[in-house]
Amino acid sequence: MKISGYLRPDGSIGFRNHIAILPSVGCANDVVVRLGRMYPDVRLLSHRQGCSQVGPDNDQTTRALVGLGKNPNIAGVLVVGLGCETIPAEYLAQEISKTKKMVDYLVFNDEEGLMAALPKGAKMLDRMLHETSKMKRVPCELEQLTVGLKCGLSDTTSGIASNPATGIAADRVIESGGTVIFGETPELIGAESIMAKRAASREIEEKLYRVADECKERVKTSGGDIQAANVAPGNIEGGITTIEEKSLGSIKKGGGTTLQGVLDYGEIPGDKGLFFMDSPGRTPEALTGFNAAGAQVLIFPTGGGSPAGSLISPVIKVTANSKTAQRLRGHIDVDVSTVISGEEQLVKAGDRIFQKLLQVANGEQTKSETLGYGSISIWNISPLCG
Amino acid sequence: MDVPKAIMIEQKDNVATLLSGIEEGSQVQIEIGERNFTVQAIDQIPYGHKIALKDIIKGEEVIKYGEVIGRSTDHIKEGSHVHIHNIKSLSLGNL
C-alpha cells in the first residue's frame, strides 16, 4: 500500500494536519482554553509545567515543549505565555520555527487582559487554519514515518499475542526504513539483559542499564518498591505476577531489530530504526514523550482495555483479549484474539496491524481519534521547588 | 467439551499460561508451536494464570519466555497454580 502525507517545509511528513495552541506554562492554560472555544478543531496542548522548575527537570520540559511544537503532524502552532515564566513563549516559538512551519506567539502580560489577547490570538489562528485548508497530501515513503508504541493495562494475552504481533508490525516499519520508539522504563526492569544484547553499541547498552538503574533508584528513594509500583492490581488479576514477567512480555512489542539508541524523554531520534525512550509507564506521560519525539502514529496494545487517545497522533488500539475486544468494541481498532484461540498465526496478526498502520497514516481515523480526546502530560522529574 | 489449553512459549519454560479457567483435576493440553502434551491440574486455576509443567522446588527459578520471571517461594508440584502466592520477583531481593 502506498502512503501519502503533508509535506512540511523542513522535508518531514505529517500524517495529520493540525493547528495547535501550546502554552509555555500551565498558568496560560486558561487563555488557551478560551481561544480554543473559538476554534473547536484546533488542538489545545494544555499542560501543567513551565514554572518553578530547575536543572534537568527544566531542560526536560523545554525539550518536550519544543518537540511537541515540532511534531510533523502539526502544520502550525500558536505559543501562548504569560511573560513571567521560566521557559518564555518567544524562546519556544523561535526553536519551533527552525522547522520553518507556521509559528506565532502571544504573551498575555503584553496585552490589556483577556479581552485584548483573544482577538489577537484569534487572528493568528485564523490565518494558520486558512493556510492548512489549502494543503494537500503527497506520496511519501515509509522512512518518513515514526511510530510510538505503548502497552497499557497488560494482562496475560499481552505478552503472548498483542505485544509480539505489534512487534512484527514494528519490524515491518523498520525494514521499510522507518523509525519505531518504545519506552516505559519500569518495564525494562527484569528484561535489561535481553534488550542489551540487541544494542548497536556498547554506549547504548550502558545507557540502557543506566536508565533502568536510575528508575529503580527513584522508586527506592520515594520509599516504594518497583514491583508494587509497576505491577498493578489489574495486571495481577489478569495473570501477571512479577515485574520481570510484565517486562519480558512488554518488550515483545519492540520487535526483534537492533536497538539504535536510548533516547532521553522527549528527544527526537537523530536516525532511523528502533529506539528505546526513557519514559514512565503511565499513559499520558508516555504518549506525550512519543509525540515530542516526532511520532506521527501510535500503536497501543492493551489487555484489559484503555480508552487512551492523543491530540497530536492517532492511537491504534490492539487487543488479544476477546472479552476486551467485545466489551470495548467502540475503542479497539485491531482484534488479534484469534492468535489466542489458535485461529490465526501470529505473523498474520502482525501483518494486519501493519496494514492498519498504513491505512491510519493515509487518513483513516482510529476509534479514539473519532472520539476526539487526548491530553498532554509532561514527565516531571523533580519535585516542585518553588 | 473442548480440552482446556495452555500456551508454553519457549522450550525452557517450566510454566504455561491458561487460555481458559480450569477446575482441579482437569487435563490441560499444553501447546508449544506444533507440539502438545498433557498436564493434570491439581488446583483450580483462573483464565490467564499459570500452571506448573513440572515440580519446582522452593527457591528455584520460574521460567517463562525462556527467561527468569521470578523465584518460587514454596515447593510447587506439577499441575499447581503458579501465582503471587508462590512466586516472588527477584527485584524484591535485590532492591
Question: Is the Cβ pair B65, A236 closer than 8 Å?
Answer: no
Q: What is residue A130's predicted lDDT score, i.e. its pLDDT?
A: 97
Residue A188: phi and psi, rounded to 5, are -95, -25
A256 min Cα distance to partner chain B (Å)? 14
pLDDT surpasses 70 at A386? no
The mean-pLDDT minimum among A20-24, A186-190, A362-366, B81-85 falls in A186-190
- The larger pLDDT score, comparing residue A189 to residue A66, is at A66
**Hey, is the C-beta of B82 within 8 angstroms of any chain A C-beta?**
yes
**Is A96:A69 a contact under the CB 8 Å cutoff?**
yes
Q: What is residue B1's predicted lDDT score, i.e. its pLDDT?
A: 55
What is the fold, at CATH topology level, of the domain defined by A18-134?
Rossmann fold (3.40.50)
* Beta-sheet strand order (sheet of A74-81): A43-44, A18-23, A74-81, A102-107
Between the alpha carbon of residue A316 and those of residues A24, A188, A218, the distances in Å are 29, 23, 31
pLDDT surpasses 60 at A348? yes
Terminal Cα-to-Cα distance of chain A (whole angstroms): 52
Q: What is residue B95's predicted lDDT score, i.e. its pLDDT?
A: 34
> What is the widest separation between alpha-carbon atoms in chain A?
66
pTM over 0.90: yes
Q: What is residue A154's predicted lDDT score, i.e. its pLDDT?
A: 87
- Give the residue carrying C-alpha cell 522548575: A53
**pLDDT per position as a tens digit, A309-319:** 999 999 999 99
Q: What is residue B94's predicted lDDT score, i.e. its pLDDT?
A: 46
Contacts of A95 (CB under 8 A, 6+ apart): A66, A69, A70
**pLDDT per position as a tens digit, A216-246:** 898 888 888 777 777 888 889 889 999 899 9
Residues in chain A with CB shorter than 8 Å from the CB of B9 are: 160
Question: Is the Cβ pair B95, A189 closer than 8 Å?
Answer: no
Question: Is the Cβ pair B65, A157 closer than 8 Å?
Answer: no
Residues 202-221 of A with CB under 8 A from B: 216, 219-220
State the pLDDT confidence band at B32, using cuts at 50, 70 and 90: confident
CA dist., res. A123 & res. A103, Å (int):
13
**Is A129:A20 a contact under the CB 8 Å cutoff?**
no
Residues 38-57 of B with CB under 8 A from A: 46-50
**Hey, is the C-beta of B65 within 8 angstroms of any chain A C-beta?**
yes
Residues 338-357 of A with CB under 8 A from B: 340-342
B76 min Cα distance to partner chain A (Å)? 15
Instruction: Return the axis-axis angle of helices A55-70 and A283-292, rounded to nearest 10°.
Output: 60
Q: So what's the ipTM on this one?
A: 0.94
In the 8-state DSSP scheme, what is residue A159?
I
Q: What is residue A223's predicted lDDT score, i.e. its pLDDT?
A: 85
Q: Select the residue from A185, A231, A245, A321 to test the B interface by mutation, using most B Cβ atoms within 10 A.
A: A245
All domains of chain B in start order, with CATH: 5-94 (2.30.130.110)
Residue among A82, A150, A89 at smallest CA distance from A110: A82
pLDDT surpasses 80 at A47? yes
Helix (H) or strand (E) holding A155: none
B54 min Cα distance to partner chain A (Å)? 19
**Is A147:A170 a contact under the CB 8 Å cutoff?**
yes
**pLDDT per position as a tens digit, A56-93:** 999 999 999 999 999 999 999 999 999 998 999 999 99
State the amino acid at position A335 in one-letter form. Answer: D
**pLDDT per position as a tens digit, A270-291:** 999 999 999 998 999 999 999 9
Domain spans of chain A?
18-134, 142-371
Measure the CA dihedral A271/A275/A277/A278, to 10°: -110
In the 8-state DSSP scheme, what is residue B58?
T
Please give the mean pLDDT across all residues of chain A. Answer: 94
Q: What is residue A220's predicted lDDT score, i.e. its pLDDT?
A: 86
**pLDDT per position as a tens digit, A329-344:** 999 999 999 999 889 9
For residue A279, count other CB atoms closer than 10 A to its CB. Answer: 29
Question: Is the Cβ pair B89, A340 closer than 8 Å?
Answer: no
B75 min Cα distance to partner chain A (Å)? 17
What are the respective helix, strand and coil percentages of chain A, to the nearest 5?
45, 15, 40
